[in-house]
Structure 1
Amino acid sequence: MKKDVVIIALLVLIMLFKLLDIVADVQLDIPLWHIMQESVLVLLTIIGTVYLSYDLRRRSRQVKALAHRVVQADKQIDNMSSQMRSARQEYSHAVANQFGLWEFTKSEAQVAFLLLKGLSFKEIAEVRQTKEKTVRQQASSIYAKSEVDGRHTFCAWFMEDFIQEHNDEFAAIIASNEAA
């Protein structure tokens, strides 16, 4: 934007010097066609200066409006982030409560959380500094206590409540596919 201001200032200076040149040319009885040519150049310079000034003000307003929207978006993101942190904490408590209802041991609960996070048995073993075979045995115990048949069903059990509102929509899609 400073570049635009410099360009406008230069155009104004050129316009002023050209006007002084026209005045001098009139006093020196320079041919009329030359004075008209220089007058057209001054007029074009005025038009360019006005256009650039208008465009600079318009872009300046746009930048200010955009900056305001960015500040508002940052505030919304901060608010959403705090809401997400709160929701994550509530969800973690709900999951931990369910683990309690299933009577998971402390180790099983740790493995179950890591399973829900998507870690492989090998990764869980590394994190917990245990053998992969131990993690597999704990996972089998977790699946048995929660009455599911594997990792995917275990994870899906916790996602079911989040997609509940779409179950009718999915049922309609399945029904239409079966009818076809």
Structure 2
Amino acid sequence: METRKVRILFLVFYVLSLLVWIIEEIYTLSKPPEYFDRFRVLIATIESFIALSSFLVVFILYKELKKEAVENRQAKTQIHDLKRTNRILINPEKGFWAEAKAQMTDWNLTDVETEIAILLLRGFSQKQIAAVRKKSLRTIENQTASIYEKSSMRGKLEFISFFLTPLLPEED
């Protein structure tokens, strides 16, 4: 709240500076040149301050727009998460897997990666997945690394948490 007061004070000062500048310009045009020569240093200082103030105002507005964009992006993410939670809770059995598969499609996982991701969600280890799929452990490690990269997750716990968090009740 304090920064808002500072911004308002600065904007008031800026508007007053513009008014002084306009009055000075009118005065300069209406008086003979010798009056202007006496005050040219003062006038140049005022004009320089107004110019610098303009840059500062533009910078402040730019920072505000960036902050609003971040808040907007966070709000959209939260809305998306709440909608996903609602779709899951409408029909928990089918809703969970439908949402999980839809999310995997959004992440552009291949069919093989989707199958492995489902096994990860079911709690299988990489060794168990390798045995079930009859592939080498190294292949499964590479595929799970690809899944985590595409989903922007850092590991199995974060990956599973992403899908289970919407099912948890709100904290008191």
**Given the two structures, how large is their TM-score scaled by the length of structure 2?**
0.46
Larger radius of gyration: 1
